[in-house]
Amino acid sequence: MRRREFIGSFCAAAVCSVAARAQQAVRRRRVAVLMQFSEAEPEGRARAQAFEQGLASSEWAIGRNVSIEYVWAVNNVEKLQGAIREFVARPPDVLVANTSREVAELQRASLSIPIVFTTVYEPVAQGFVRSLSHPGGNATGFTTIESTVGAKWLGLLKELAPSLEHATFIFDRNNPGPLQAYPSVEAAAKAHGVEATQAPVQTTADIEFAMERIARQPNTGILVPPDGFLVKNRELIVSLAARYRLPAVYGLALYATRGGLVSYGASAVAQFTQAADYVSRILRGAKPGDLPVQQPTKYDLIINLGTAKALGLTVPQTLLVTADKVIE
């Protein structure tokens, strides 16, 4: 072999070897995302898009250096537990969860898979992390509300319906998270001369019975906190509130955009963008336990003016002026 050909062959082989080693070094990372919604639902697509855009802004390219595995419509225990069994058998690099139930089930199954959560209540009180500033363990993320937000919900309900005498806090009996906000509801109710009660539900029949029972009282209204089961049944809840002419304040925007009277809460879509940043940090070596749990810094007030008119309610100008969005 001629010297020039030998050198050329050697260099080509060396380049191929370096390229091969570089390709091996860039291991495609695997992220799993539990999603409450189906892939066809706008809310699910919006959250997924926000998450993917957040990863892209941190130089993660889907299909090249990261893959995302969505488990859609995780809204029952059986499907959630089935997905978790698969994760434990074949752990992803990071798991994204967006309900308290998901985090609880995940941590029961494994304390080693890194978890980034969104829209979770009081993670310290629920035992998911040691503290907000130093979570420790395998989980961190973003809370959906502070426990004191219940007072704001009750105050909004009273502003919208000045004759309000009774307010019922509806919650999923299988998810204790929302009850973290109830003490502030009770305190505000007492200050406003309103009786506060609870309505635990766990089936659609429970929801229908509770709403019918609530409607028997005059001058009454409902509070609906963020919760996976309630979100799954949001169309039913909003339609029953309309049927029984019940003023309602919801903790998530997707209720108001679907005909609910008013929502006041943190943006779940925005939290998926924030979650992408934490996922990126963990993929680059950060430990979940070293990343502080972040609480909402902004709550969005959305008013459905059409629903207010249908209920015969006059929305105070002070609320219209401060609303982030008014739906005509």
Q: What pLDDT, in 10s, does the model give residues 25-73?
A: 468 999 999 999 999 999 999 999 999 999 999 999 999 999 999 999 9
- Quick: pLDDT tens for 308-320: 999 999 999 999 9
Rounded distance between C-alpha atoms, residue 120 and residue 146, angstroms: 10
- Residue 254 pLDDT > 50, yes or no? yes
- Which residues, other chains included, contact 20 with Cβ-Cβ below 8 Å and sequence gap of 6+? none
Q: Tell me the per-residue pLDDT of 78-121, one tens digit each, with 9 for 90 and over.
A: 999 999 999 999 999 999 998 888 999 999 999 999 999 999 98
Q: Residue 301: is it exposed, middle or buried by C-beta count within 10 angstroms (0-12/13-18/19+)?
A: buried
pLDDT above 80 (res 10)? no
CA-to-CA dists, residue 210 to 51, 86, 205, 238, angstroms: 36, 37, 8, 13
Give the C-alpha distances (Å, rounded to integers) separating 325 from 264, 303, 304: 11, 6, 8
Phi, psi of 212 (to 5 degrees): -65, -40
Does the structural domain 10-19+21-142+268-290 have CATH classification 2.40.37.10? no
Determine the 3-state secondary structure of 171 from DSSP. Answer: strand
| pLDDT above 90 as % of the chain | 84
In this predicted structure, what is the pLDDT of residue 77? 85
Instruction: Please list the residue range(s) of the chain that carry CATH number 3.40.50.2300.
Output: 10-19+21-142+268-290, 149-265+300-327
Computed over every residue of the chain, the mean pLDDT equals: 92
The pLDDT value recorded for residue 175 is 85
CA nearest neighbour of 229 among 63, 102, 96? 102
Can you give the pLDDT at residue 145? 84
Kindly give the interhelix angle for 204-215 and 234-243, rounded to the nearest 10 degrees: 20
Q: Please write the tens of the pLDDT for every residue from 129-173.
A: 999 999 999 999 999 888 899 999 999 999 999 999 999 999 999
CATH assignment, 149-265+300-327: 3.40.50.2300
